Amino acid sequence: MLKNLNDKSVLVIGGSSGIGFATAQMAHEAGAKVTLAARDARRLAEAADRIGGPLATREVDLRDDASVAALFDQSAPFDHVIVTASQVKIAPVRDLPLEDAFASFESKFWGFYRVARHAAIREGGSLSVVSGYLANRPVAGRSLMVAINAALEGLTRGLALELAPVRVNALSPAMVQTEMWNGLSEADRQALFAKTAESYPAGVIGRPEDVAAQLLLLAASPYATGTVVMLDGGASLI
C-alpha cells in the first residue's frame, strides 16, 4: 500500500521530532517527496540531514493563522498533509492555570483547525492528525487532553464530509517513546516507560515507527476517510 506514496508530495507538520520525524523518514523511504515543517529551523535542518536525500523544510507556527496561511500560499498543493505537531501542558483542571489550558487547545486543536482551513491538498489526497487514546479512555488528572483529543476526532469526522474528496483521518495512540517525554530525567523516563508498558495488554509502549506506519497507511489508502484508528497497545481497554 505504501507504494501509493511513491512520487507523492507529503507535508509533515511536526516532522522534526518523534512521530512526525518517523513518518517523514518512512514516507521518504517509500519514494515520497517530503517537506518537514515545524517552528525551529535548526531542528528542521538536523532532521532533514538525519533522513538524508533531498528534503524541503518550512518554518511554521500552528498557533499563528498568518504563519499557517503563508505555508500553503507559498507552496504548490500537497498530496498528503500529516499533522503531528503540538505542545500541551497536562495537569488536573483545578491545578492548571487557565492560560495554560487555553494555550494547549490553541496548539493542538486550533493548530489542526488552521491547517484544515488553509491546506491546499490535491484531489485524492489526504489530511491526517494525531489525537490520543484519552479521548476514549479518560484518566483522572488529564481531562483537558481528553477534551482536546475528543474535539480533534469530532473535527476529523466533520472534515471528512466537508473536505471530500480530500480524505481526513485521525490516529489515536497511547504512550509513544518520543522526545515529547524528554522533560523527564533519563531515569524517570525509563521507569515510566517500563511501568506503562507493563500495564498495557500488548506489554509494550509505542515506537514512533509503529505510529508512522499507520499514519502513512491512512494517507495511502483510497478507502480511508473519517476514520479514527486506535493504535494504543490496548491502553483504552484497561
Ligand X SMILES: NC(=O)c1ccc[n+]([C@@H]2O[C@H](COP(=O)([O-])OP(=O)(O)OC[C@H]3O[C@@H](n4cnc5c(N)ncnc54)[C@H](OP(=O)(O)O)[C@@H]3O)[C@@H](O)[C@H]2O)c1
The Cα 99–Cα 104 span in angstroms is: 9
Q: Within 10 A of 81 (CB to CB), how many other CB atoms are there?
A: 29
169 binds ligand X (CB under 6 A): no
At CB < 8 A and 24+ separation, what contacts does 56-64 make? 58/11, 60/13, 62/13, 62/86, 62/107, 62/110, 62/111, 62/112, 62/114, 62/115, 63/106, 63/107, 63/110, 63/111
At CB < 8 A and 24+ separation, what contacts does 194-201 make? 197/233, 199/235, 199/238, 200/174, 200/175, 200/232, 200/233, 200/234, 200/235, 200/238, 201/233, 201/234, 201/235, 201/237, 201/238
40 binds ligand X (CB under 6 A): yes
7 binds ligand X (CB under 6 A): no
Return the residue nearest ligand X (CB atom): 18
Q: Which is nearer to ligand X, 4 or 107 (CB)?
A: 107
State in angstroms the smallest separation of the CB of 133 from ligand X: 7
State in angstroms the smallest separation of the CB of 224 from ligand X: 19
The correct pick among 43, 89, 137, 142 for binding ligand X (CB under 6 A) is 43
Site for ligand X in 61-120 (CB under 6 A): 61-63, 84-88, 107-108, 111
State in angstroms the smallest separation of the CB of 81 from ligand X: 13
Contact track, ligand X, 178-207, x by CB under 6 A: xxx---------------------------
Site for ligand X in 116-135 (CB under 6 A): 130, 132
The Cα 48–Cα 46 span in angstroms is: 5
The correct pick among 11, 19, 115, 212 for binding ligand X (CB under 6 A) is 19
The Cα 184–Cα 166 span in angstroms is: 39
147 binds ligand X (CB under 6 A): no
Q: Which is nearer to ligand X, 4 or 128 (CB)?
A: 128
**φ, ψ for residue 169 (rounded to 5)?**
-140, 160
Q: Which is nearer to ligand X, 17 or 128 (CB)?
A: 17
210 binds ligand X (CB under 6 A): no
Count residues contacting ligand X (CB under 6 A)? 31
The Cα 144–Cα 134 span in angstroms is: 10
Where along the sequence are the contacts to ligand X (CB under 6 A)?
13-14, 16-20, 38-40, 43, 60-63, 84-88, 107-108, 111, 130, 132, 173, 175-176, 178-180
